[in-house]
């Protein structure tokens, strides 16, 4: 990717306002996600993080404003949604759950063919669970389900990958492995990635920039290092924070 491309916008939100049940839950005057960047999004529960992703993914229409660059005319956008509990009785395999990602492209009535199946297998390999292709989705761990969700999003061949709390409810090892996997995929596929997370200590390693949301509004955008100051975190989450400097990297204490 050339230097000029890198600063080009992948997605631009202009004067976007999202109203849910009569309440404005997201107000963004201007937000530019740069092509090729890894943007982290943090903020308290209910601050509009998932709403922001849903709007960029085209799953939710804003009451007013514009989203440029997303969708068919611009880059493709795919969302790996926040983890939902899967019914263990669901009779589909992990491979089939990934192939669901192709229906947007095929239309609901066409069955995905061998090409889609082969690509789904390839993606399972990329996210490290090729060996689980035929396992019923109800029988996989949280980490495995998250990897499958990422593969499902990648099947849509996105330019922009949106991840909503990909490490929530995972143990420490699974968290680190998923984050490493996401980082690898981001650079290997040359994606623009927007990741919502509460994993503050993962931000410096992964993110080019961090966006802070509070009560439905972006309140800060900048480097991960500067995002993780005690003052900024206290303002954002409404509790005091201690941040240590460890080998030139900020570490937020629980």
Residue of 1, 3, 4, 21 interacting with ligand ADP (CB under 6 A):
21
- Name which of 2 and 45 has its Cβ closer to ligand ADP: 45
Q: Rule CB under 6 A: say whether 20 interacts with ligand ADP.
A: yes
Binding window for ligand ADP (CB under 6 A); candidates: 46-54, 144-152, 179-187, 199-207: 46-54
Closer residue to ligand ADP (CB): 25 or 185: 25
Q: Determine, following the binding rule CB under 6 A, whether residue 49 of this chain makes contact with ligand ADP.
A: yes
Q: Considering only residues 10, 32, 50, 182, which one is a binding residue for Mg ion as defined by CB under 5 A? A: 50
Range in contact with Mg ion (rule: CB under 5 A) among 18-26, 32-40, 49-57, 143-151: 49-57
Closest to Mg ion by CB, 93 vs 175, is 175
Select 79 or 127, whichever has its Cβ closest to ligand ADP. 79
Tell me if 93 contacts Mg ion by CB under 5 A: no
Pick from 11, 16, 25, 233 the residue near ligand ADP by CB under 6 A: 25
Going by C-alpha positions, the residue among 74, 78, 72, 65 that lies closest to residue 30 is: 65
| Contacting residues toward Mg ion, per CB under 5 A | 49-50
């Amino acid at each position: 990717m050339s230097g000029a491309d890198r600063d080009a916008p992948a997605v631009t939100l202009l004067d976007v306002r999202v109203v849910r049940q009569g309440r404005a839950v997201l107000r963004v005057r201007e937000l530019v996600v740069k092509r090729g960047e890894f943007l982290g999004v943090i903020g308290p529960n209910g601050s509009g993080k998932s709403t922001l992703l849903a709007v960029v993914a085209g799953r939710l229409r804003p009451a007013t404003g514009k989203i440029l660059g997303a969708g068919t005319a611009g880059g493709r956008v795919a969302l790996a949604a926040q983890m939902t509990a899967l019914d263990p009785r669901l009779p589909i395999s992990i491979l089939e759950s990934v192939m669901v990602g192709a229906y947007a492209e095929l239309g609901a009535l066409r069955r995905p063919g061998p090409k889609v199946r082969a690509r789904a297998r390839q993606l399972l390999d990329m996210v490290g669970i090729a060996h689980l292709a035929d396992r019923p989705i109800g029988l996989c761990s949280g980490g495995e389900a998250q990897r499958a969700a990422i593969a499902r999003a990648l099947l849509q061949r996105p330019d922009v990958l949106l991840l909503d709390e990909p490490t929530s409810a995972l143990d420490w090892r699974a968290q680190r492995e998923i984050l490493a996997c996401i980082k690898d995929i981001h650079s290997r596929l040359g994606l623009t990635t927007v990741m919502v997370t509460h994993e503050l200590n993962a931000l410096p390693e992964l993110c080019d920039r961090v966006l802070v949301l509070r009560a439905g509004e972006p309140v800060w955008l900048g480097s991960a290092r500067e995002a993780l100051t005690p003052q900024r975190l206290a303002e954002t989450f409404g509790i005091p924070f201690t941040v240590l400097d460890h080998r030139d990297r900020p570490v937020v204490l629980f």
